[in-house]
Each structure stands twice: as C-alpha cells, then as structure tokens.
Amino acid sequence: MDINQHHFDRNIRRAKGTRTIGAFSSLPFPDNTFDYLHCSLALFYTSYNPRKGGKSDFERLRTLHNMSRAVKKDGNIILAFDANTLWKNPTSTKQILSFLGLEEVSSYTGSVNSD
C-alpha cells in the first residue's frame, strides 16, 4: 500500500500481489486483517498539532489507531521513525501506545547511530 500511485508505476512489471492506493490514517481494510504491518518513516509525514482553543489535527493518532485496528490481535506492527516524530517524552509515547492497544517491545527499541 502506498499513498502515491506513481510509486507503483515504475515497478509494475516486477511487483507481484495486490497494490492498494491509500493512507495509513484511513486504512481501507476491515478490522483484524493483517498479521503484520510495517510503517517505515511514514509517521514523519503525518501531522500532530494539538491546539488549545483552535482546530487540532491528530492525523498521527488516527494513523496509529487505524494500524492497531487493522492488525490481528496476535499480530505485529513495526514502526520505524526518528526520535522527534512521535512524542519527545518516552513515557507519554508508551501511554499513548497503550491507550491504542499497542505495546512497545523494549528489546527491539533503541537508537541507531551512523558512526
């Protein structure tokens, strides 16, 4: 799945399987569909703008909620993102993931340096 049709166009002859145009924030799949979902850096392009007294945009939360909804109860979601993409406070991030029915697997969590 990709939000951009053109990403499929170049690889149409090589790629096999179903191609779906769509966004993680509004997954066009029923609940409990997938054993595995992988979102690599796409959260960077979602908005998370809580505002007091103004219009808030929680696309990032909708994305995580839709992923939680579409993955099977015993399935896995792999998220790859830079440190500032979710929330700067790790405790808040864990609480939000828990609220959405997700769990951080600490043994797979950490930083990668290019040094």
Q: DSSP secondary structure string, 53-84? A: SS--B-HHHHHHHHHHHHEEEEEEEEEE--TT
Check residue 114 and give its pLDDT. 61
Q: What is the mean pLDDT of residues 79-96?
A: 70
What percent of the chain clears pLDDT 90, i.e. is strictly above it? 10
Average pLDDT taken over every residue of the chain: 77
* Whether residue 105 has pLDDT greater than 80: no
pLDDT tens across 29-77, in order?
899 999 988 887 777 778 777 676 766 678 888 888 899 999 999 898 8
* pTM of full prediction above 0.85: no
Q: What is the mean pLDDT of residues 3-21?
A: 70
- Looking at the chain, the number of H-run helices and the number of E-run strands are 3, 2
pLDDT band at 86 (very low <50, low <70, confident <90, very high): low
